[in-house]
């Protein structure tokens, strides 16, 4: 009889410990165990369309690079046959630097605020401009406003000015 009573008390104690253990592991109840879930920030869908400035036809296979301002790394996409590249992982409310690189065209770069759920950006790519050369003859009116050298300062001496023979090496 004594044995049965001790066995009954021990079994009640065991059940009480088990119930206490499942209800409060380290002061937590069963519904709050594990890692705390943090929902990802809302994202926006950004569609970039790349067109040629000359005829507004789409540019295929242009590199579209997204870099979040203040973040390391970047994301690069290529445009499809319609000249479009779409990305949907940029956080809403962020700033992004958009760069476009296409062979035979000037590089494009600009900062954008991602403030909408859906954002469309259109970029018109230009061909590179002709380089300015001091070795070519330019009219005086064009060179004055550009801050460059005038056409009289092309590196050749005027024979009517004194010291003109100093430009030629003596033999």
Q: How many CA atoms lie within 13 A of 28 on its CB side?
A: 9
Residues 146, 155: contact at Cβ < 8 Å? no
CB 119 within 8 A of CB 96: no
> What is the pTM (predicted TM-score) of this model?
0.58
Residue 61 in contact with residue 79, Cβ under 8 Å? yes
Cβ(66)–Cβ(97) below 8 Å: yes
> Does 14 fall in a domain?
no
Residue 114 lies in a domain: yes
d(CA 123, CA 126): 10
Asked if the structure places residue 84 within a domain, the reply is: yes
What is the DSSP pairing of strand 43-52 with strand 118-125?
parallel
Q: Does any domain span residue 19?
A: no
In this structure, is residue 98 part of a structural domain? Answer: yes
Q: Which pLDDT score, from 0 to 100, does residue 169 have?
A: 45
Does residue 154 form part of some domain?
no
117 domain residue, yes or no: yes
> Given this model, what pLDDT does residue 125 score?
97
What CATH number does residue 112 fall under?
A: 2.60.40.10
Domain of 111 in residue numbering reads as 43-125
Residue 36 domain flag: no
Number of domains the chain is built from:
1
What's the confidence (pLDDT) of residue 29?
54
Strand order in the sheet with 63-68: 75-78, 63-68, 94-101, 108-114
pLDDT string in tens for the chain (171-residue length): 676 666 667 666 676 666 665 554 455 555 666 788 888 889 999 999 999 999 999 999 999 999 999 988 899 999 999 999 999 999 999 999 999 999 999 999 999 999 999 999 999 999 998 888 888 888 865 544 444 443 344 444 444 444 444 444 444
Residue 59, phi-psi category: left (phi > 0), alpha (psi -120 to 50), beta (remainder): beta
């Amino acid at each position: 009889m004594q044995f049965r009573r001790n066995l009954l008390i021990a079994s009640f104690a065991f059940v009480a410990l088990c119930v206490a253990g499942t209800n409060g592991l380290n002061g937590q109840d069963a519904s709050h165990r594990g890692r705390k879930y943090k929902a990802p920030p809302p994202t926006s869908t950004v569609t970039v369309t790349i067109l040629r400035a000359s005829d507004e036809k789409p540019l295929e296979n242009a590199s579209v690079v997204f870099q979040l301002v203040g973040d390391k790394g970047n994301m690069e996409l290529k445009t499809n046959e319609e000249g479009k590249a779409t990305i949907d992982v940029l956080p809403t409310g962020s700033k992004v630097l958009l760069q476009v690189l296409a062979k035979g065209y000037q590089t494009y770069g600009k900062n954008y605020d991602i403030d909408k759920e859906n954002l469309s950006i259109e970029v018109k790519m230009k061909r590179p401009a002709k380089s300015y050369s001091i070795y070519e003859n330019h009219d005086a009116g064009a060179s004055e406003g550009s801050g460059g050298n005038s056409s009289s300062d092309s590196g050749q001496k005027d024979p009517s000015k004194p010291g003109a023979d100093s430009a030629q090496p003596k033999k």
